[in-house]
Amino acid sequence: MKTISGAVIGALLATPVVADVIVRFDEGAPTDRFTFMSTDHCLNGPIGLTVDLSGSLAGLIFDVTPAGAGVDVFQPFVLVAGQDLVSSLPEVRDGDTVLNIGLKNMIANQPVAFTIDVDDTTGGREITVSDAEISGATVTLTRDGMDFAAVFSDQATALIETPACTS
């Protein structure tokens, strides 16, 4: 009878896992919400998250002050979930299209979320952003000097896939 060493068993049980990050945009009144959720525990930091609205279908911008590029209602950046995971907050100016957040790490199924006002600049209903209007905007996760990007769909979601890790 042959025996299998612990190292061999460990290697067999260590299966590659893709550490996906699900990103969701929710239109709301008066604030819009971005939520980031990791599907696995292998996303150790430091991690950078970037939201870039410049490629969006509706020319979206962040509207954070009463004067400036936005329309009517404005809302500043407010971190509403995952405060213990965040290492740095963005400095968002009115009319910006990009914001960056620093994370210590991401924990599976623990959201990092923020609210802010997003307006379109194409002349439609500028204070309301439909799901399709964010399509084309990108989100990027930066880790270990590598960028992993995803594009928002017309359903206002994006899936960032990172390389396999072992669990």
For residues 47-62, one letter each, b for 16 or more C-beta atoms within 10 angstroms of the residue's C-beta and e for the rest, the string is bbbbbbbeebbbbbbb
Establish if 2 belongs to a structural domain.
no
pLDDT at residue 83, rounded to an integer: 98
CA dist., res. 138 & res. 24, Å (int): 12
- Please give the distance of CA 165 from its chain centroid, rounded to a whole number: 20
pLDDT tens column, 53-84: 999 988 999 999 887 766 677 899 999 999 99
- Does the pLDDT of residue 146 top 70, yes or no? yes
Residue 48's domain comprises 16-166
Establish if 3 belongs to a structural domain.
no
Establish if 99 belongs to a structural domain.
yes
Q: Which residue has the higher pLDDT, 120 or 72?
A: 120
Confidence tier at 164 by pLDDT (50, 70, 90): low
**6 phi and psi, to 5 degrees?**
-60, -35
pLDDT at residue 8, rounded to an integer: 42
Establish if 33 belongs to a structural domain.
yes
CA dist., res. 128 & res. 26, Å (int): 11
Q: Is 63 helix (H, G, I), strand (E, B) or coil?
A: coil
pLDDT tens column, 27-54: 987 789 999 999 987 788 899 999 999 9
Q: What is the pTM of this model?
A: 0.84
What domain count does the chain have? 1
Mean pLDDT for 105-132 is 81
- Please give the distance of CA 26 from its chain centroid, rounded to a whole number: 12
